[in-house]
């Protein structure tokens, strides 16, 4: 996979995770949602990946479009708490206003399936939380502006005396 596509996937995952409701730091790891992204298509944006020229810093803006399915496994202590948590995650994914969504590179997002709730299992230390999968489909566009060039030689003098 080319480096720009890899960078686009990393950015995509970070963007999806940023949409999820904030989880308090004291929440145990077992109750934190798990995010899985399965890209189904990665293609160049614009013309072969070239989107536009940037003026400052000067250079090419390159892009990738990603179509992906994703799963957020929502976890809670009880099935009753799980229903509320699933609703919160669904609203967070779908409720982003259009302008903010576009600024983040999300072109389209849709909920494709709510998996069946799985009740907690076991007792004591080995107890697993209640879980439910929220499946979604997202179209995402990653745009990479040119890096700051720093000191660039813009002109080479032709009348240099070498002797």
Cα(17)–Cα(65) distance, integer angstroms = 18
Mean pLDDT to the nearest integer, 34-63:
90
Residue 156 is assigned to a structural domain of this protein: no
Mean pLDDT to the nearest integer, 17-40:
91
Task: Answer yes or no: is pLDDT of 151 > 60.
Answer: no
Cα(3)–Cα(84) distance, integer angstroms = 39
Cα(103)–Cα(117) distance, integer angstroms = 33
Range of the domain at 87: 3-121+129-144
Residue 68 is assigned to a structural domain of this protein: yes
Residue 13 is assigned to a structural domain of this protein: yes
- Which pTM does this prediction carry? 0.78
How many separate domains does the chain show?
1
Q: pLDDT digits over 93-136, tens only? A: 999 888 999 999 999 999 999 999 999 988 877 788 999 999 99
Q: What is the pLDDT of residue 3?
A: 92
Residue 149 is assigned to a structural domain of this protein: no
Q: If pLDDT is split at 50, 70 and 90, which confidence band does 55 have?
A: confident
Q: What is the pLDDT of residue 131?
A: 96
Residue 11 is assigned to a structural domain of this protein: yes
Instruction: Report the 3 state secondary structure along the chain.
Output: CCHHHHHHHHHHHHHHHHHCCCCCCCCCHHHCCEEEEEEEEEEECCECCEEEEECCCCEEEEEEEEEEEEEEEEEECCHHHHHHHHHHHHHHHHCCCHHHHHHCCEEEEEEEEECCCECCECCHHHCECEEEEEEEEEEEEEEECCCCCCCCCCCCCCCCCCC
């Amino acid at each position: 996979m080319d480096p720009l596509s890899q960078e686009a996937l990393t950015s995509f995952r970070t963007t999806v995770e940023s949409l999820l409701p904030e989880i308090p730091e004291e929440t145990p790891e077992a109750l934190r949602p798990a995010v899985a992204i399965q890209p189904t298509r990665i293609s160049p944006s614009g013309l072969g990946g070239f989107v536009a020229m940037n003026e400052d810093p000067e250079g090419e803006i390159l892009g990738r479009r990603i179509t992906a399915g994703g799963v957020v496994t929502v976890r809670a202590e009880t099935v009753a708490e799980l229903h509320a948590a699933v609703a919160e995650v669904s609203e967070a994914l779908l409720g982003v206003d259009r302008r903010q969504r576009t600024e983040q590179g999300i072109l389209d997002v849709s909920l494709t399936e709510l998996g069946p709730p799985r009740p907690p299992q076991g007792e004591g230390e080995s107890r697993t939380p209640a879980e439910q999968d929220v499946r979604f489909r997202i179209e995402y566009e990653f745009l990479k502006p040119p890096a700051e060039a720093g000191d660039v030689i813009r002109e080479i003098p032709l009348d240099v005396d070498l002797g």
